[in-house]
Amino acid sequence: MLKTLKLISRTEGRKDEPPPTEGLLRRRAEGDVREFIAALRSVGYYGASIETTIDESHDPVKVVFSVNTGRVYRIQSVEVQVQSEERETGGSMPTPAELSVAEGEPAHAQKILDAGDALVRRMKNRGYPFASADEPRVVVDHRTEGVAVTYLLDTGPAARFGDTSVTGLKSVEERVVLGKIPWKKGDLYDEALLADLQKRLTDLRLFSLSRVKRGEVLESDGTLPITVEVTERKQRTISAGASYKTDEGFGAKASWENRNLFGEGERLNASVIVSQISYGAEIAFEKADFLRDHQTLNARLGIGTDDTDAYESRNVESTVMVHREPGKGVKISAGPGFRFSEVEEEDNGWEEFALLSFPVQFEWDRSNDLLDPERGGRLKLHTTPYWSMLDIDTAFLKAYASYSHYWSLMKKPHLVLAARGALGSIVGAERRSVPADLRYYAGGGGSIRGYPYQSVSPLNAEEDPIGGRSLVEFSAELRWKITETVGFVTFLDGGGAFEPSFPDFSTSLKWGAGAGIRYYTPIGPLRLDVGVPLNRREGIDDVVQIYISLGQAF
């Protein structure tokens, strides 16, 4: 509190500009006292008193404020007085507990004001689109050191959703927008659903601008019309990106996308990825609201080659997946797939694999940002059974689970703690029966930083990685945003890949640590990390590894 008082004090702030007379100095101090009393009352010190002493024996003159805060006054009662008749078609009134101003809590002015805003917001979400409230009436009882708060609420008339009109469409079909509406005509009005529709339209990536507005006047049947205004963005986009990793070299990606192929928001994306150890191309088609709302069809075909220390691979892969979103941040996916590959490892010649698969995935994402999360968590559960078409006796299941969580520790300085754990397992087949490019490997920029790509894995006699049937990874990062555009991180990664189907914790895990810089851009943070191996192996691990890419590490 002392810091706050110093910040608002004109006497403190202008101490290098003293007034010419004691009277003017006293007037300045009296102005401070009024500001101090207001600041103290705003945090519940309604009985505070302040005495001012001006000591002219000092040079310069000394001004002393003697502050007696007294005890914090607490909320004794909370009442909501409805100034208009509540109609039966509307929702129920929120309780004081729902407004977070319970009896016995400190009488903080901002919290009392925020509760008034929350009251209006809740009524708008419960069928009263025109709800409003006067400034809360606060009565202070100095005898009991308590505060009585009364909210004067005007609910206005209750309403239900009416007709929805869409303006601004050119090439996008109107049913695409109408299909995203999360309410039905006749449902009780809920303003939160307008924001939900706004987000859904933004997620379509079809519009540069979208605005959802309610009408200002009720229809004769008690419904409220809704207007959706949109401005279509360009349907086609070309994008490119680059990265650098000490172990993988330079990499580049280019893509082309059409977001409205047939007029109903269908997406067609073609991309090419090239690095010093791999290159590939992929084409993907996506159809939103496939057969039902919140369900997407995704079909993809990709070809690629890899040339790593572990293997050489040429592969073709296709999947047809249906993604279902049963709730906020939840996505369930499943569908058939086919993969053909030619793989060479340990100079044993090329071996062919033809595999049918049926991947099933569950993903839960309650983080607040895709590329730079600061709070919330992410869970991924992926299982894929494979059946060989060339060897009917070969079948195996590949499973993977990971969880990341983010904690905002401080606002100033802006400090975020991020942690991640991952576990993988392949069961049903020996290692040799699993294609080398489907086995688990650890090490590298997306795994354990500080170690070469795939190197924290079972090794052969030449100390080349051969992959394993299980994986475990741990990561922790402390992210400090120094300015709006520059940040600094420190990190610790650990884990490894193992021969058995379950991680062998009797084998020592490998750990890497380091630091990095983040440059924040409108599309996400640009990342530069420098990692060192804490369990360095002579002849295998370099002293340092460098990683440059877009987005946080996890």
Tens digit of pLDDT at every position of the chain (554 positions): 778 888 888 878 887 787 887 888 888 888 989 999 999 999 999 999 999 888 877 778 888 898 899 999 999 999 888 876 555 545 567 776 677 787 888 999 999 999 999 999 999 999 999 999 998 999 999 999 999 999 999 999 999 999 999 999 999 999 899 989 999 999 999 999 999 999 889 988 899 999 999 999 999 999 999 999 999 999 899 999 998 888 888 999 999 999 999 988 899 999 999 999 999 999 999 998 899 888 999 999 999 999 998 999 999 999 999 999 998 889 999 999 999 999 998 777 899 999 999 999 999 999 998 888 999 999 999 999 999 999 888 999 999 999 999 999 998 889 999 999 999 999 999 999 999 999 999 999 999 999 999 999 999 988 999 999 999 999 999 999 999 999 999 999 999 999 999 998 888 899 999 999 999 998 889 999 999 999 999 999 999 999 999 889 99
Show Cβ contacts of residue 48 under 8 Å, excluding neighbours closer than 6 positions.
Answer: 36, 37, 40, 41, 67, 68, 69, 70
pLDDT on residue 55: 80
Judge if 74-154 and 160-232 fold alike in CATH terms.
yes
CATH architecture of the domain with range 74-154: Roll (3.10)
pLDDT on residue 26: 86
Distance, in Å, from the CA atom of 360 to the CA atom of 378, rounded to the nearest integer, reads 17
The number of angstroms, rounded, from the C-alpha of 35 to the middle of its chain's C-alpha atoms is: 40
All structural domains of the chain with their residue ranges: 2-68, 74-154, 160-232, 313-550
Q: Which CATH class is domain 313-550?
A: mainly beta
pLDDT on residue 174: 92
The number of angstroms, rounded, from the C-alpha of 9 to the middle of its chain's C-alpha atoms is: 40
pLDDT on residue 319: 98
Distance, in Å, from the CA atom of 449 to the CA atom of 465, rounded to the nearest integer, reads 16
pLDDT on residue 14: 82
Domain 160-232 CATH assignment equals 3.10.20.310: yes
Sign of torsion, CA 291 226 259 170?
positive
